Amino acid sequence: MHNLLADPKDNIIVKSSAKNALRISLGVSFISLALKVSGFWITSSTTALSDAAESIIHVLAVSFVYYGLLLSTKPADDKHLYGHERVEFLSVGIEGAVITLAGITIIYQSIENYLYGHELKELMSGVYLVGGAGLINLALGNYLLKVGRREENMMVISNAKHTLTDVWTSAGAVITLLIIKFTNYIILDSIVAIGLAFYIMYEAFKLLKYSIDGLMDSRDPSVDNAIRKELENELPGSMIDVHNLRHRTTGNTTWIEFHAVFRENVNLEKAHDDATLLEKRLINAVQGDVIVTIHLEPEGHHEDVHDTLKDADQDRPLQDFI
């Protein structure tokens, strides 16, 4: 087994940038929330409430995401031998879940207001407050998206998308309040609120899908393509074939495993040197940190080489895990 990682100093810089971005996001989210709650308080609008409710969930979500990022940067320890990066998938999943909860809450409140009616007031004040919050989130979301894509950090990217989703809900709220102001078409308040709820729930579904795919170690197509492309090139020295490839990406780290077949009678030192050369090529081919585990095999039929394993005490055959 050989472990070769990218420069740890680069990783520290990446994590630091992500932390700063999420700190800024958390602070600005409280300001945006205060503006939206004020807008709802003044207008009593369900649409404004839907926007404020989404921001409440956003504050809770970014708090958890920030904690998840702090935890993911911790190195491996005696209890977590593979590190803590998988918490990224849990963080993104919880953010998606709470966004869904916000959507359901908004739909319920909108239907209740439609059935029993409600009175709106001070609509222009609500427009200024909600619109101001939307402009703040627009700037914040673009900043987070830029940092997240540059650092290839899905936690920051998911937070950016959630923030930009908030912008759309704010825009919808502002337009709705303006229409109601000049037409007195109050039912529009409930209709638009429900539409916004379904929109944010759709965004939540995409976050949940990413989370489930990560927790289930689903294959990353871009990573898989980079690995296979490198293995299709000429193999180093005495290595003649590779098989049983497996890989998974958790956070910023990709784990690669496969069997490598070497020419008959090659000595261990030569085989090790050739395997190390291939490791380096794979590390350079895949973005982020890479850990490569290579199982060395002599030339020959695969089943014959592993004949000793046939009577091993195991319920499922090795092939089930390849």
| All structural domains of the chain with their residue ranges | 8-215, 221-321
Q: Alpha helices, DSSP H only, in the chain?
A: 8-43, 46-72, 87-116, 123-151, 154-183, 187-215, 221-231, 268-285, 302-305
**Whether 119 contacts 189, CB under 8 Å:** no
Identify the sign of the CA torsion 184, 197, 50, 30. Answer: negative
Q: What is the CATH number of domain 221-321?
A: 3.30.70.1350
- Give the tokens for residue 85: 């990066």
Closest CA relative to residue 144, chosen from 255, 20, 39: 20
Q: What is the reported pTM?
A: 0.70
Class (C level, CATH) for 8-215? mainly alpha
> What residues pair up with 293 in beta bridges, in sequence order?
257
> pLDDT of 202-241, one tens digit each?
878 888 998 899 889 888 899 999 999 999 999 998 999 9
Measured CA to CA, the distance from residue 302 to residue 297 in angstroms comes to: 9
pLDDT digit string (tens) for 230-284? Answer: 999 999 989 999 999 999 988 778 999 999 999 988 999 999 999 999 999 999 9
Confidence of residue 322 (pLDDT cuts 50, 70, 90): low
